[in-house]
Chains A and B, each alone.
Chain A
Amino acid sequence: MSTEPAPGAPTWNARSDDTLLELEQVSRVYGDEVPVYALRDVSLRIHAGDFVSIVGPSGSGKSTMLGLLGLLDLPTSGNVRVAGTDATTLDDATRSKLRGESIGFVFQQFHLIPHLTALGNVETALLYRDIKPRERRERSYQALADLGLSARADHRPVQLSGGEQQRVALARAIVTEPLMVLADEPTGALDTANAAHVLEVFQELRSPERAVVLVTHDPTVANTAHRKVSMRDGEIVSDERAVQAG
């Protein structure tokens, strides 16, 4: 991995002290008797301002990588650091708190809670944080409004289109103002128009303080990112930065 800034690269090509999230010599092994390496000795740094796509064929370790980056899973060996904190040593409650505060998730299948309204779904991300219900509602409503969904706040997921559902999921991901938005095939279940719209939103989510990470096998989606990490057989085979980013 090059740490040299590419010529003409924007500020997202940050110095190492801007590292938001770091995988260090991380391996993830499934199975005991016959170990299967889903990831093997992978090191990766995500910096503030990064807009990264992680690409690779099925079985290349993308999903495992996403689980580890999102603190949903722990590595078999190696370290995962979030803003300097080693997440592998934390207990579940602390790690969950760290996850909730630093990472926003967007999934291919949206994963909205069906019995809650759009607003309720966004509010879910702000629960258990000592936030007053009124403030929680206001912030959630604002996040929906920012994504053009204020009229849909009281609708349940089943009453929303796919594109709207994904935007609700986006609102849920960003309402906590996370350090990193982590998306898994965010346009995989959307038609072209909605997909384009959602990708636009991802572009807008970029900020100098935040990183956006897309896991995808769709080259169109991958090419919207400014940094492309390619994987194969549980290893990173390339980590390229687009020169003409932005």
Chain B
Amino acid sequence: MSSSRDLLGVAWSGLTARRVRTLLIMLGPIVGVAAMVAAVGLTESAKGDLKQRLAQLGTNLVIAQAGGTFGSQNPTFPADAVQRVRALPTVTNASATTNLSSVIATPIAGGSDYYQSFPVPVRAADASLPSVLQVPVLDGRWLSATDEQLHMPSAVLGAGLANQYGHLDGEIRTIRLNDTDFGVVGVLGSVALDPDLDNAVFITQWSAKHVFGTDGKPNQLYVRSQPSSTQATADAIPTAINLGGPDQVSTKVPTDVLQAASQADKTLQQTALFAGLLALAVGGLGIANVMSISVIQRSSEIGIRRAVGHSRSKIAAQFLLESLFVGVLGGLLGALIGIGVVYLVSSFAHWVVVISYQRIPVWMTLALGVSIAAGLYPSIKAARLEPLETLRLG
């Protein structure tokens, strides 16, 4: 519509004709939106490193631990626990490990006394553990299906253990478990969500069964759920494993603590948000005030526009559109300034920048709404001006 284009042009020229005044009334939406963007941005960025770590770890890992019946010494899950858990619709992946508490690992020949006093945990694991934990294999490879099928005495070391006894990348090395030498085929990366695994030795379930005589029943499950249903999954796992049986299953979401720590200071954030809202509201009053005065100052312009055929509604639209521009531009500038402040402060404080971009349009819409509301009265006033009075006919 060329008429709307005309209107845009008229409103725009009205604003650009008085740049200082326009900038001054824009300060309200600018300060308001900038304050809100910066408030949330800064409080979130202060915890940005924790948030970043959480994003890397994923908050959807559930660890299930066998509790056994009351008094049992070495509680285990049923042998098919992983299959049962995988059947849950919210579970995307799962892996089982078995603690071999009777096996003594001796990483360094001759250190057996020491390792009997401070045992290295030995765990039987399946092929999917690294992918469930989302941890890379640092050197070599993880236990494979081939190891199981060919009954290979393969072992993988946790990153902490490998470090502790000076494992070199590519080194050919064995580790003695009880009386059997196992070949070290790889080193698992550090598992931030379960640091116990860092010092462990991993072997196949076949080795656990046939070399050390276990029953093959797991006692830990690592489970990944769909991102939004972590807690629901954690709650469902005991039932899925037990099917109403007497065994105790405890579950935990290891990122819960981290997540709590990463929460921004809500009180501070809300105070700053409130300050931003206040700035917007005061800015809105400023717009209404200045626009009202402007209508009086521009009464001659309004009169002449009416005389050349612009209707009351066009005059109202012209002034309302000027307010709208103030809101849009002020909101946009405010958002940019707010983002700039967050980046600036974060660079000095060495924070990881976190900006909730999805919330910025909401605040900008708020600024726009305030500007339109503020422009409503002046534009109605402008439309109601009688051209005969404003033109001061002779």
Report which A residues bind B (CB closer than 8 A): 62-63, 66-67, 70, 72-73, 92-93, 96-97, 99-101, 105, 107-109, 111-116, 120, 124-125, 127-128, 130-133, 172, 176, 184-185, 188, 215, 217
Contact (Cβ within 8 A) B312 A113? no
Contact (Cβ within 8 A) A113 B309? no
Q: Looking at the assembled complex, report how far the CB atom of A94 sits from the nearest CB atom of chain B, in whole angstroms.
A: 8
Q: Looking at the assembled complex, report how far the CB atom of A153 sits from the nearest CB atom of chain B, in whole angstroms.
A: 16
Contact (Cβ within 8 A) B394 A96? no
Contact (Cβ within 8 A) A124 B305? yes
The answer to whether the Cβ of B310 comes within 8 Å of any Cβ in the partner chain is: yes
Contact (Cβ within 8 A) B391 A111? yes
Main secondary structure of the interface of A (DSSP, over half): loop
Q: Looking at the assembled complex, report how far the CB atom of A63 sits from the nearest CB atom of chain B, in whole angstroms.
A: 4
Known A107-B393, A115-B18, A185-B394; judge A124-B304 contact (CB<8 A): yes
The answer to whether the Cβ of B259 comes within 8 Å of any Cβ in the partner chain is: no
Contact (Cβ within 8 A) B393 A127? no
Q: Which residues from B are CB-within-8-Å of A130? A: 2-3
Report which B residues bind A (CB closer than 8 A): 2-3, 5-7, 9-10, 13-14, 17-18, 300-301, 303-314, 386-388, 391-394
| Chain A residue nearest to B2 in the complex (CB) | A130
B313 interface neighbour in A92, A108, A113, A120, Cβ under 8 Å: A92
Q: Looking at the assembled complex, report how far the CB atom of B134 sits from the nearest CB atom of chain A, in whole angstroms.
A: 59
Known A92-B311, A115-B18, A172-B308; judge A128-B393 contact (CB<8 A): no
- Counting chain A CB atoms within 10 Å of each CB, the highest count among B3, B304, B309 belongs to B309
A105 interface neighbour in B307, B311, B313, Cβ under 8 Å: B307
Contact (Cβ within 8 A) B393 A67? yes
| Chain B residue nearest to A106 in the complex (CB) | B307
Contact (Cβ within 8 A) A72 B388? yes
Contact (Cβ within 8 A) B391 A107? yes
A63 interface neighbour in B300, B311, B313, B394, Cβ under 8 Å: B394
| Chain A residue nearest to B394 in the complex (CB) | A185
Contact (Cβ within 8 A) A108 B394? yes
Q: Looking at the assembled complex, report how far the CB atom of B271 sits from the nearest CB atom of chain A, in whole angstroms.
A: 42
CA distance A108 to B300 in the complex (A): 13
CA distance A124 to B307 in the complex (A): 10
Q: Which residues from B are CB-within-8-Å of A108? A: 393-394
Contact (Cβ within 8 A) A128 B310? yes
Q: Which residues from B are CB-within-8-Å of A120? A: 13
Contact (Cβ within 8 A) A67 B388? yes
- Known pairs A63-B388, A111-B300, A217-B394. 8 more at Cβ < 8 A? A92-B311, A96-B311, A105-B304, A113-B305, A114-B17, A124-B304, A127-B10, A184-B394
Known A96-B310, A128-B310; judge A115-B17 contact (CB<8 A): yes
Contact (Cβ within 8 A) B310 A132? no
CA distance A215 to B312 in the complex (A): 26
Contact (Cβ within 8 A) A184 B393? yes
Q: Looking at the assembled complex, report how far the CB atom of A129 sits from the nearest CB atom of chain B, in whole angstroms.
A: 8
Contact (Cβ within 8 A) A115 B13? yes
Q: Looking at the assembled complex, report how far the CB atom of B21 sits from the nearest CB atom of chain A, in whole angstroms.
A: 11
Q: Which residues from A are CB-within-8-Å of B394? A: 62-63, 108, 184-185, 188, 215, 217
Contact (Cβ within 8 A) A72 B7? no
Contact (Cβ within 8 A) B307 A99? yes
Contact (Cβ within 8 A) A93 B10? no
Contact (Cβ within 8 A) B393 A93? no
Known A93-B311, A100-B308, A215-B394; judge A128-B303 contact (CB<8 A): no
Contact (Cβ within 8 A) B307 A101? no
Q: Which residues from A are CB-within-8-Å of B17? A: 114-116
Q: Which residues from A are CB-within-8-Å of B309? A: 96-97, 99-101, 125, 128, 176
CA distance A88 to B296 in the complex (A): 28
Q: Which residues from A are CB-within-8-Å of B2? A: 130-132
| Chain A residue nearest to B309 in the complex (CB) | A100
Q: Looking at the assembled complex, report how far the CB atom of B6 sits from the nearest CB atom of chain A, in whole angstroms.
A: 4
Contact (Cβ within 8 A) A96 B306? yes
Q: Which residues from B are CB-within-8-Å of A93? A: 311-313
| Chain A residue nearest to B308 in the complex (CB) | A125
Contact (Cβ within 8 A) B387 A128? no
Q: Which residues from B are CB-within-8-Å of A109? A: 300, 391-392
7 A-B pairs with the lowest CB-CB distances in the bound complex, closest first: A100-B309, A115-B17, A96-B311, A185-B394, A63-B393, A125-B308, A93-B311
CA distance A217 to B393 in the complex (A): 12
B14 interface neighbour in A96, A107, A115, A131, Cβ under 8 Å: A115
Q: Which residues from B are CB-within-8-Å of A66? A: 393
Q: Looking at the assembled complex, report how far the CB atom of A172 sits from the nearest CB atom of chain B, in whole angstroms.
A: 7
Known A72-B387, A130-B2; judge A111-B304 contact (CB<8 A): yes
A111 interface neighbour in B18, B303, B388, Cβ under 8 Å: B303
Contact (Cβ within 8 A) B7 A113? no
Q: Which residues from B are CB-within-8-Å of A133? A: 5, 9
B7 interface neighbour in A99, A100, A128, A176, Cβ under 8 Å: A128
Contact (Cβ within 8 A) B311 A97? yes
- Counting chain A CB atoms within 10 Å of each CB, the highest count among B5, B303, B388, B393 belongs to B393
CA distance A129 to B135 in the complex (A): 68
Q: Which residues from A are CB-within-8-Å of B314? A: 96, 128
The 21 sampled A-B contact pairs (Cβ below 8 Å) are: A63-B393, A72-B386, A93-B313, A96-B314, A99-B309, A100-B308, A100-B309, A108-B393, A109-B300, A109-B391, A109-B392, A125-B308, A127-B10, A128-B3, A128-B309, A130-B3, A132-B2, A133-B9, A176-B309, A188-B394, A217-B394
